[in-house]
């Protein structure tokens, strides 16, 4: 297991609307499937290239294996397969997580993979989920950092990033958030181990893998606290109607034919993140989904 940064990611599901008539699927604007187009789709077809924005440092979703310059990961390989099924090449632009949606909005990239919540859901187009998850906490093993409930976060120091839902949760319950730049897992987890911070709140699947890489640290996943369900989707510009239509269908096909499950099991230690977890999850009032 290599040492990479935590994925901060959370989002919601949407489906294409359809209505009958002449066996042609229609968009919400009443345009038949064969007539739907958009500038993003036309550019991709003209250039023969799908440009994807990704962080490249978020194991196991988007990362470079040690001693390799070949980008890989769960999200990366899904988007490679989407490009393959579209019949175009793919180019990845590696950038900071917070810059990806700006690049998507400006037209620098055509697509990304992440979760959207709150107002961001209204600004972009997105597919049904490619990943379901929930939040957990990494705490010190010997005393769980004094945290036995979400309310016990009050007065604690949480390692995280300033603009994520995980930091919002920490702050809602009274924790101070210690922010990091493009740091690797060892920076986050070592600080919990040595007491500089008390907790890291993040995605269950990612934290369960990250923690395995540091058996020497006095840390573990909190055994009792599972909260705030989340999803991640393929995200595109708001008015990229044809691209959305095509990618939505490909994601549905990949779910049905088992491709999502196969890729998930490769990167998530045999676990299938493409289906909803069967867990009793605490939902937090006032945190946007």
The least confident of 8-12, 56-60, 123-127, 196-200 is 8-12
* 113 and 147 together in one domain: no
116 and 39, same domain (yes or no): yes
Distance CA 70, CA 23 (A): 43
Question: Which tokens belong to 16?
Answer: 């294409």
Look at residue 36 in the predicted model and tell me its pLDDT.
Answer: 58
Q: What mean pLDDT comes out for the span 188-212?
A: 94
Question: Do 141 and 212 share a domain, yes or no?
Answer: yes
pLDDT tens-digit readout, 78-121: 999 999 999 999 999 999 877 899 999 999 999 999 998 888 89
Torsions phi, psi for 34 (to 5 deg): -70, -20
From 209, 228, 247, the end of a domain falls on 228
Q: What is the CATH number of the domain that holds 44?
A: 3.40.190.10
pLDDT in tens, 154-191: 999 999 887 789 999 999 999 999 988 766 778 899 99
Question: Does 102 lie in the same domain as 51?
Answer: yes
The Cα angle at residue 70 between residues 211 and 161, in degrees rounded to 5: 40
User: What is the H or E stretch that residue 77 is in?
Assistant: helix 74-86
The answer to whether residues 89 and 109 belong to one domain is yes
Q: Please report where in the chains the tokens 């939505």 appear, as a residue.
A: 248
Identify whether the C-beta of residue 114 lies closer than 8 Å to the C-beta of residue 202: no
Q: Could you tell me if residue 193 is inside a domain?
A: yes
Which DSSP letter does residue 88 get?
Answer: -
Q: What is the mean pLDDT of the chain?
A: 87
Looking only at the bridges linking them, the beta strands covering 176-179 and 157-160 are: parallel
Cα 134 from Cα 139, distance rounded (Å):
16
pLDDT at res. 37: 66
- What percent of the chain has a predicted confidence (pLDDT) above 70? 86
- The per-residue pLDDT for 182 is 63
Q: Collapsing DSSP states into helix, strand and coil, what is residue 206?
A: helix
| 274 domain residue, yes or no | no
Q: Is 146 left (phi over 0), alpha (psi -120 to 50) or beta?
A: left
Out of 2-11, 95-104, 196-205, which region has the weakest mean confidence (pLDDT)? 2-11
- Sequence-distant (6+) residues with CB within 8 A of 195 are 140
User: How many domains are there within the chain?
Assistant: 2
27 assigned to some structural domain: no
Residue 126 and residue 160 in one domain: no
pTM score, whole prediction = 0.79
Q: What is the pLDDT of residues 227-265, one digit of tens each?
A: 999 999 999 999 999 999 999 999 999 999 999 999 999
Q: Would you state the pLDDT for residue 8?
A: 34
Domain presence at residue 12: no
Domain extent at residue 213: 132-228
Alpha helices in the chain (DSSP H): 39-47, 74-86, 97-106, 120-123, 165-172, 185-194, 204-210, 241-256, 259-267
């Amino acid at each position: 297991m290599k040492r990479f940064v935590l994925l901060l990611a959370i989002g919601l599901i949407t489906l294409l609307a359809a209505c009958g008539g002449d066996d042609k699927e229609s968009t919400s604007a009443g345009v038949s499937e064969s007539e739907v187009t958009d500038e993003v789709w036309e550019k991709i077809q003209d250039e023969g290239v799908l440009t994807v924005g990704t962080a490249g440092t978020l194991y196991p979703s988007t990362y470079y294996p040690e001693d390799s310059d070949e980008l890989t990961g769960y999200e990366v390989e899904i988007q490679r397969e989407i490009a393959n099924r579209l019949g175009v090449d793919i180019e990845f632009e590696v950038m900071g997580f917070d810059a990806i949606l700006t690049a998507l909005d400006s037209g620098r990239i055509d697509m990304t993979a992440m979760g959207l919540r709150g107002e961001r859901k209204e600004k972009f187009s997105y597919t049904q989920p490619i990943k379901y998850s929930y939040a957990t906490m990494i705490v010190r093993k010997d005393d769980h950092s004094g945290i036995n409930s979400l309310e016990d976060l009050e007065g604690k120091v949480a390692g995280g990033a300033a603009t994520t839902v995980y930091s919002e949760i920490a702050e809602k319950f009274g924790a101070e958030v210690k922010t990091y730049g493009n740091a690797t897992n060892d920076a986050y987890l070592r600080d919990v181990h040595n007491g500089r911070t008390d907790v890291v709140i993040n995605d269950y699947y990612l934290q369960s893998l990250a923690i395995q890489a540091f058996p020497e640290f006095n840390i573990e996943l909190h055994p009792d606290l599972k909260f705030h369900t989340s999803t991640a989707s393929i995200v595109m510009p708001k008015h990229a109607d044809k691209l959305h239509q095509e990618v939505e269908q490909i994601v549905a096909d990949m779910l049905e034919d088992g491709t999502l499950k196969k890729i998930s099991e490769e990167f998530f230690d045999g676990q299938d993140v493409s289906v909803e977890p069967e867990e009793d999850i605490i939902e937090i009032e006032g945190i946007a989904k």
